[in-house]
């Protein structure tokens, strides 16, 4: 079964050993490792890749894989929202009205990649979870295992959600800009009216005075 693993550790150094262990399991044919990376989230929410195995497809590469895409999503602007309303928005895009934040697999992954702690994100094809779980258990690691198909579906939805958010933001800015321009135009018209003096013939001025 194709799964995406997010693995936390008590000691950051164990994340690097776990990466080596996953590569060894792949070499032994016990799992098929598509790609894996040691990652760390910064205070600003961005995620840095500290080490990697396989073709993770990150930093502008045209090909390769799901891990780079996941890291890009979790460490990008939309990752800031993954613990909140984005889970609901993703659900609405898939017509799942009862979805809450806890149902979002990307939200679970986002919370699993903690600030200033190393974690491993890996895509594996595994016959049984016991192989990886037993190896990670020796390193005091905690495995979050999610079906690859679910992760890919939410990545697609997250991309659409980000596009929708950008469209809404542009619409709001356009409306505010139009409002601001209209207010400036009206202020300028009022200013011009207050400064406007029309010279009229003396007879007209006299007629106006008689009318008063």
pLDDT string in tens for the chain (212-residue length): 899 999 999 899 999 999 999 999 999 999 999 899 999 988 888 888 999 887 665 443 333 478 888 888 888 765 545 543 333 344 344 343 444 444 688 888 888 888 889 999 999 999 999 999 999 999 999 999 999 999 888 888 777 766 776 777 778 777 777 888 888 888 888 888 787 765 555 555 555 555 55
DSSP state of 179: H
- 129 in a domain, yes or no? yes
What pairs with residue 168 in β-bridges? Answer: none
- Report yes or no on whether pTM surpasses 0.85: no
Give the whole-angstrom CA distance, residue 203 versus residue 209: 10
- 204 in a domain, yes or no? no
Element (H, E) at 211: helix 202-211
Give the whole-angstrom CA distance, residue 21 versus residue 183: 65
Closest CA to 41 of 4, 17, 84, 73: 73
- 104 in a domain, yes or no? yes
The CA angle 68-163-149, to the nearest 5 degrees, is 45
User: How many domains are there within the chain?
Assistant: 1
pLDDT of residue 36: 93
pLDDT of residue 46: 83
Give the whole-angstrom CA distance, residue 105 versus residue 147: 9
In degrees rounded to 5, what are phi and psi of residue 105?
A: -70, -35
Give the whole-angstrom CA distance, residue 61 versus residue 35: 14
Cβ atoms of 47 and 40 within 8 Å: the answer is yes
pLDDT of residue 184: 84
- 17 in a domain, yes or no? yes
- 12 in a domain, yes or no? yes
Distances (CA, A) of 110 to 1, 46, 68: 22, 11, 14
- 102 in a domain, yes or no? yes
DSSP state of 115: B
Rg (CA), the chain: 29
pLDDT of residue 174: 77
Cβ atoms of 27 and 127 within 8 Å: the answer is no
pLDDT of residue 92: 41
pLDDT of residue 198: 56
Tell me the pairing of strands 118-126 and 31-41.
Answer: antiparallel
191: which 2 tokens?
A: 């200013």
- 146 in a domain, yes or no? yes
- 103 in a domain, yes or no? yes
HSE-up (13 A, CA, CB side) for residue 176: 6
The number of angstroms, rounded, from the C-alpha of 6 to the middle of its chain's C-alpha atoms is: 17
Give the range of the structural domain holding residue 12, as residue numbers without chain letter.
2-165
pLDDT of residue 203: 56
């Amino acid at each position: 079964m194709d799964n995406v693993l997010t693995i936390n550790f008590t000691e950051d150094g164990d994340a690097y050993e776990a990466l080596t262990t996953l590569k060894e399991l792949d070499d032994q044919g016990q799992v098929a490792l598509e790609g894996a990376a040691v990652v760390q989230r910064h205070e600003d929410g961005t995620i840095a890749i500290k080490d990697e195995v396989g073709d993770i497809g990150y930093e502008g590469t045209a090909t390769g894989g799901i891990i780079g895409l996941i890291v890009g999503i979790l460490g990008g602007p939309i990752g800031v929202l993954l613990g909140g309303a984005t889970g609901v928005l993703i659900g609405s895009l898939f017509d799942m009205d009862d979805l809450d934040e806890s149902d979002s697999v990307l939200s679970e992954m986002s919370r699993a990649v903690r600030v200033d702690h190393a974690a491993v994100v890996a895509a594996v094809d595994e016959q049984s979870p016991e192989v990886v779980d037993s190896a990670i258990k020796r390193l005091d690691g905690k495995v979050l295992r999610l079906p690859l198909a679910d992760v890919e579906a939410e990545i697609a939805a997250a991309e659409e959600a980000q596009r929708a958010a950008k469209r809404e933001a542009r619409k709001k800015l356009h409306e505010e800009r139009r409002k601001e321009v209209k207010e400036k135009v009206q202020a300028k018209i009022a200013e011009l009216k207050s400064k406007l003096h029309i010279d009229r013939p003396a007879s007209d001025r006299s007629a106006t005075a008689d009318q008063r």
